[in-house]
Amino acid sequence: MSTTSSTSNASSSPLGTAVSANSAGGNLINVTSIVSQLMSVEQIPLNIMNANIASDQAKLSAYGTIQGALSTFQTAMAGMSSASNYQAIDATSSNTSAVTATATSSATKGYYSISVSSLAQAQQLEATGQASESASIGSGTSTTLTFSLGTISGGTLTNGQYSGASFTPNGSASKTVTIDSSNNSLQGIAAAINNAGVGVSASIVNDGSATPYRLVLTPIPGSANSLKISASPGGDSAITSLLAQDPTGTQNLTQTAAAQNANFTLNGVAVTSSSNTNTTAINGVTLNLQSTTTSPLTVSVTPNTSGDATAIQNFVSAYNALHSTIQTNTAFNSATGTGAILMGDYSILSIQNQIHNVLDTTVGSTGGSIASLADAGVSLQKDGTLSLDTATMNAAISSNPGGIASLFSTVGTASDNLVSFSSSTSSTQPGSYALNVTALATPGSTVGSVNLNTVNDGVDGVGVTAIAAGTTIQVSLNGTSGTVGLAAGNYTATQLAAMIQLSINSSSAFANSSVAATINSSGFLTLTSNIYSSASNITLNNGTGTPVTGALGFMGSPTTGPGTDVAGTIDGQSATGSGQYLTSSSGNSSGLKIQVSGGSTGARGTVNFTQGYAYGLNNLLTSILSTSGPMAAMTTGINNTITSIQNQEAALNVRLAAMQQQYTKQFTALDTTLANMNSTSTYLTQQLANLGK
């Protein structure tokens, strides 16, 4: 009875199955199981924290995906923000075997009739044949060869030799090559000339004769680039007799091809070019002359609208890709009855609304009727995507090619063809702004006082200026100074101007500036800077040789003056002039910068300025994706939340570890107590049983 009673008490213990009725004194309580069950309850807050972290990390991943899609969309918009993507110009020739053409976006559109009568050609000079191309020529005495380029005129040409001709230097600086014992073979001479950069190409031709090796010299093309070669006195006689070449005197080389310019007519106007590649006849167009023509050909310079269509298609595709990514992460799936991780997220919905607000606006038009996406065939569908009606798009492009550029990019157009849009700032508002010019920009200049048409006049009645060998002048141009060498020779007024212009412009000291040299109606030499600005200036001073000023000077007492800046107003507001550029400083046009390249003072029409969809979206996305924008704020907030929860988890884990240790200690003690009580119960039961005996 007593044993049964003991067993019954054990089995009905509040600890349930964790209490054993082992009367042998073993563990009566499964401490590990009890503590585990109790800790499972205590860990419920920790499980909730882990679930919250997992949810936040999933949101963080979704935000990252959307941020990447926004960044991709912004890249597409940035590429569409430049007007140059839309304003392509094609140049097409009706006879590509005679003339080919290419055009820039600034090309003057139109149709041009061209006839080519001659191609530019380089002079070709051939030396006497040699038995060997590697054998030494002469004794190796150092000989300096001076190469000069100029125009051969007058006289007659017989068997490759001139008689009675004159040679006028073209104004380019003469170059020298030294031949000595290290390079006095045909191979060495050719290499020395090619390496010296004298503007002459040297090659060796084998004609198959007994003395087959001939040195051939070819200057750059153009009638002003015939060659004169002078050998230094006391040099090697063999080198001198082989290479010295004076079109007006001794000629040791034979001319096999004469230098000549290209000559063609453009819409009936005669054009001469020293090269077969001409970039000046048609503004913004490069003409490549291939052969002469027997009948006129046509070069068509027309807009290329393929970039417009591509831009619109790319815009629709880029937006739809972004929309798809946002929908994937925010939409409700009616089939599964579940929502995406960011469904109802206010920040993402706000970003979508901001993008839609830009798409819903109408941009100002620079002309024509294209002022909204709908005008270009783009419409917003019920599902949030954009669709493109290609028929409407093609009609819009055909009727107003420039309108597509204004629809997407930042564009400014002027009603005056001598006024052009340069740039704008974030302060510039779309609109049409009146321009008034009170002063035009001018370049710095200096004007001589010597009539070069009569100075040193000869019997022919033409003024001649003599420039001595070794003459240099000191030039100050737009704040930069340098020494410029002048080619020796006798020059008419026009020839002197050309020589001085070429000498200054070819000087490395003035790589960023240039001058135009002309003879005015009084016969005075006039030098004008290429820069239109109050910082523009030019002065000439004496160096060595022929003086610039004085009794024998070619400038006399020059009059010099700095340039001036353009001045005027934009939209009736004050504007700042810098060179030819006028920048608005106030009002809605603030920051609008335009170039006035000529014309007259007074009212100069209007400048229309627009900021298209790509421009607006690019600016919006820059704000959204910036370090202070909403995407950064959202990701920072979630990361901070995750960090806070992780800190709470760490503290809770410390507390749970202590709690588990306490539970284990308490139930182990209870188990020991119960074991002792069970042992005592067994002893008493045994004693009571013996007492009955």
**More confident position, 2 or 445:** 445
pLDDT at 26: 45
Give the total residue count for the chain: 693
Which of 36-45, 56-65, 167-176, 253-262 is the least confident region? Answer: 167-176
CATH fold label, 443-561: Immunoglobulin-like (2.60.40)
Strands (DSSP E) contained in 200-331 are 200-206, 213-219, 226-231, 254-257, 262-266, 269-273, 277-278, 285-289, 297-303
The position carrying tokens 């990514």 is: 325
pLDDT band (50, 70, 90) for residue 364: low
pLDDT at 241: 95
**Burial classification of residue 198, based on how many CB atoms lie within 10 Å of its CB (0-12 exposed, 13-18 middle, 19 or more buried):** buried
Q: What's the pTM?
A: 0.62
The position carrying tokens 């929908």 is: 327
pLDDT band (50, 70, 90) for residue 461: low
pLDDT band (50, 70, 90) for residue 123: very high
Q: Are strands 175-179 and 143-153 parallel, antiparallel or unpaired?
A: antiparallel
Q: Which residue from 82, 88, 467 is spatially nearest to 302, judged by alpha carbons?
A: 88
399-439 pLDDT, tens digit per residue, is: 886 778 888 888 888 889 899 888 888 888 888 899 999 99
pLDDT at 693: 66
301-347 pLDDT, tens digit per residue, is: 988 888 888 888 988 999 999 999 999 998 888 888 888 888 988 98
**More confident position, 29 or 292:** 292
Residues of the chain with CATH 2.60.40: 124-260, 443-561
Going by C-beta distance under 8 Å and a sequence separation of 6 or more, which residues neighbour residue 158?
Answer: none
Do the beta carbons of residue 298 and residue 111 sit within 8 Å? yes
DSSP-derived 3-state class of residue 556 = coil
The tally of CA atoms less than 13 A away on the side-chain side of residue 451 is 7
DSSP-derived 3-state class of residue 99 = strand
User: If one looks up domain 124-260 in CATH, what number appears?
Assistant: 2.60.40
How many angstroms separate the most distant Cα atoms in the chain? 173
Percentage of residues of the chain with pLDDT beyond 90? 48
pLDDT at 6: 36
529-583 pLDDT, tens digit per residue, is: 999 999 999 999 998 888 898 876 899 999 999 999 999 999 999 899 999 999 9
Q: Which residue from 221, 222, 249, 247 is spatially nearest to 152, judged by alpha carbons?
A: 247
The position carrying tokens 């170059």 is: 175
C-alpha triplet 148, 122, 276: angle, nearest 5°: 120
pLDDT band (50, 70, 90) for residue 5: very low
pLDDT band (50, 70, 90) for residue 455: confident
Mean per-residue pLDDT, 262-267: 94
Going by C-beta distance under 8 Å and a sequence separation of 6 or more, which residues neighbour residue 657?
Answer: none
79-104 pLDDT, tens digit per residue, is: 787 777 776 789 999 999 999 999 98
DSSP-derived 3-state class of residue 148 = strand
Mean pLDDT, the chain, whole residue set:
87
